[in-house]
């Protein structure tokens, strides 16, 4: 038995596949098997994994017709022989110490699951994503007793899972077609069943997110998220003890995913999706599955409006979504009218704005701060410089103030007093519109 079986599901990813495979075969933990599941790729992906397999005996290739992500992952799970299971998506890549760190932690603390934070990757730039900020770090805990982790991004690939734990609890992926949301039910099952979860604050896995604003435009995908929650409920109802503990946790998570998908849904599918969503939530409410103690206050108010007035809620959400879409388009279009873009601030807000603009292929000329004390020399590969003595063209360049909101207006008035008028505040509303 090897220490970790690393599953790599593959479908038409020739552009990124070599980087992914290199990051796995060169792990500092050598006692691993690498299971590449080719899901009927029509590009050169199969050729690439066969090439790597001919050079490394640890690589096993499963080549099958296209049956979807869930089936691919289950094929990998059934073939795996490792003590633990790891997952690396074929367009992502891992830091070389990832599995060494996760495995040694699992053994030290006798953990069923070891999870970490991750990097969000756009082209060559990485942004730290803290999945575990509401959960305990560096100690064993039971997720059901600390249920905020259920609301965190699924990020199945930033963890390892005891194979015996998965087998004992009959945890597999939902085998719906394509690659839509099958991680939702898998993660919920894991969190509902494990009694020994350990969270590491470090990040190792680089999750590629080059198209964060893609929408659901396929009729076949409209109801996929409902399939995931049906699978969760099927799984839990077979385990009455767990179901009674989890039934209140499901609803805020369900609402979160439903609203996220509603906002991503192509306009011609919004109404049919909403009809199904509202009926589903209404049924659960009648069944007594809603408990205010498990909800954030603003989300509780939203869902109460939905339950009391479906039509008003629909039009409120739709108009809000349209307003934000128009807001973002207007903001980005405005930026393109300036010769150069500067960001004032070098903290988290500025990093998020810079990352978002990079995703949109909008270049930033420089990052400005009041002084260089306690600030980085660069943000990504862009120099951070003191505002005083800059060479900004006051007529043709623009400054985006991306600091804490309580500081923005003082900075704004200071810039105005020095003759700068092309100034945009990254306000809370704009941040929400940009999904920062």
pLDDT tier, 340 (very low <50, low <70, confident <90, very high otherwise): very high
Q: Considering only 89-93, 106-110, 330-334, which range has the smallest mean pLDDT?
A: 330-334
Rounded Cα distance, 126 and 381, in Å: 11
Burial tier of 2 (Cβ tally within 10 Å: 0-12, 13-18, 19+): middle
Res. 245: pLDDT tops 70: yes
Cα–Cα distance, 431 to 436 (Å, whole number): 5
User: What's the mean pLDDT when you consider all of the chain?
Assistant: 90
pLDDT at 116: 97
- Our CA angle for 321, 324, 329, nearest 5°, is 125
pLDDT at 371 over 90: no
Q: What pLDDT does 216 receive? A: 52
| Per-residue model confidence (pLDDT) at position 217 | 55
Average confidence (pLDDT) over 181-193: 93
pLDDT at 436 > cutoff 80: no
* Range in 54-68, 93-107, 400-414 the model is least confident about: 400-414
Q: Are 80 and 51 in contact (CB under 8 A)?
A: no
| Other CB atoms within 10 A of residue 138 CB | 10
Rounded to 5°, the CA angle 423-427-429 comes to: 130
CB neighbour list of residue 429: distance below 8 Å, 6 or more residues apart: 327
CA distance 177 to 70: 8
Q: For the chain, which domains are there?
A: 4-208 (3.90.550.10), 219-308 (no CATH), 336-434 (3.40.50.720)
Average pLDDT over residues 152-175: 95
Per-residue DSSP letters for 38-94? EES-SSSHHHHHHHHHHH-TTEEEEEE----HHHHHHHHHHH--SSEEEE--TT-EE
Q: Looking at residue 219, what is its pLDDT?
A: 63
Averaged pLDDT, 229-242 = 90
- The answer for residues whose C-beta is within 8 angstroms of residue 2's C-beta and 6 or more apart is 31, 32, 33, 58, 81, 82, 83
List helix spans (H) across 194-309: 224-237, 240-264, 267-286, 297-308
- Cα separation, 320 vs 48, in Å, equals 45
How confident is the model at residue 179, as a pLDDT? 66
Q: Using CA atoms, how far apart are residues 415 and 64, in angstroms rounded to an integer?
A: 61
Q: Are 387 and 363 in contact (CB under 8 A)?
A: no
User: CA 299, CA 292: separation in Å to the nearest integer?
Assistant: 10
Q: Do 424 and 330 touch, CB atoms closer than 8 A?
A: no
Would you place residue 292 in the very low, low, confident or very high pLDDT band (cuts 50, 70, 90)?
Answer: very high
Contacts of 253 (CB under 8 A, 6+ apart): 150, 151, 188
- What is the total residue count of the chain? 436
Specify burial of residue 343 (Cβ count, 10 A radius: 0-12, 13-18, 19+): buried
Closest residue by Cα to residue 189 from 90, 112, 117:
112
210 pLDDT more than 70: no
**At a CB cut-off of 8 Å and minimum separation 6, what does 219 contact?**
269
pLDDT at residue 349 above 80? yes
For the entire predicted model, the pTM comes to: 0.83
- What mean pLDDT comes out for the span 89-112? 97
CB 173, CB 186: distance < 8 Å? yes
Q: What is the pLDDT of residue 215?
A: 47
Query: Which parts of 295-369 fold into alpha helices (H)?
Result: 297-308, 310-335, 348-359
């Amino acid at each position: 038995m090897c220490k970790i079986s690393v599953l790599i599901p593959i479908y038409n990813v020739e552009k990124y596949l070599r980087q992914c495979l290199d990051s796995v075969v060169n792990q500092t933990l050598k006692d691993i098997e690498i299971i590449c599941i080719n899901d009927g790729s029509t590009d050169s992906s199969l050729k690439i994994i066969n090439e790597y397999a001919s050079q490394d005996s640890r690589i096993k290739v499963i080549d099958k017709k296209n049956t979807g992500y869930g089936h691919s992952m289950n094929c990998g799970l059934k073939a795996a022989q490792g003590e633990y299971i790891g997952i690396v998506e074929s367009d992502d890549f891992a830091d070389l110490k990832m599995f060494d760190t996760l495995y040694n932690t699992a053994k030290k603390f006798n953990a069923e699951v070891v999870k970490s934070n991750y990097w969000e990757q756009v082209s060559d730039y990485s942004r730290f994503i803290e999945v575990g900020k509401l959960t305990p770090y560096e100690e064993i805990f039971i997720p059901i007793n600390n249920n905020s982790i259920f609301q965190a991004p699924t990020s199945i690939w930033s963890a390892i899972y005891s194979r015996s734990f998965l087998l004992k609890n009959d945890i597999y992926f939902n085998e719906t077609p394509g690659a839509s949301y099958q991680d939702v039910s898998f993660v919920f099952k894991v969190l509902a069943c494990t009694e020994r979860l350990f969270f590491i604050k470090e990040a190792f896995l680089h999750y590629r997110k080059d198209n964060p604003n893609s929408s659901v435009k396929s009729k076949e995908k409209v109801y996929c998220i409902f399939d995931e929650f049906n699978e969760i409920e099927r799984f839990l109802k077979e385990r009455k003890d767990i179901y009674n503990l989890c039934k209140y946790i499901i609803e805020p998570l369900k609402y979160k995913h439903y609203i996220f998908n509603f906002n991503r849904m192509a306009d011609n599918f919004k109404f049919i999706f909403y009809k199904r969503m509202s009926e589903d939530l209404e049924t659960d409410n009648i069944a007594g599955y809603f408990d205010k103690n498990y909800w954030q206050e603003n989300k509780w108010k939203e869902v109460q409006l939905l339950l009391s007035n479906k039509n008003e809620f629909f039009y409120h959400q739709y108009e809000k979504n349209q307003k934000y879409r128009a807001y973002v388009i207007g903001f980005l279009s405005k930026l393109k009218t300036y010769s150069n873009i500067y960001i004032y601030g070098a903290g988290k807000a500025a990093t998020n704005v810079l990352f978002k603009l990079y995703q949109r292929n909008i270049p930033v000329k420089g990052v400005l701060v009041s002084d260089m004390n306690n600030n980085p020399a660069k943000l990504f590969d862009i120099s951070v410089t003191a505002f005083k003595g800059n060479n900004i063209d006051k007529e043709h360049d623009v400054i985006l103030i991306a600091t804490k909101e309580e500081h923005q207006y003082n900075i704004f008035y200071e810039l105005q007093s020095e003759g700068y008028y092309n100034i945009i505040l990254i306000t809370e509303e704009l941040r929400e519109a940009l999904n920062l």
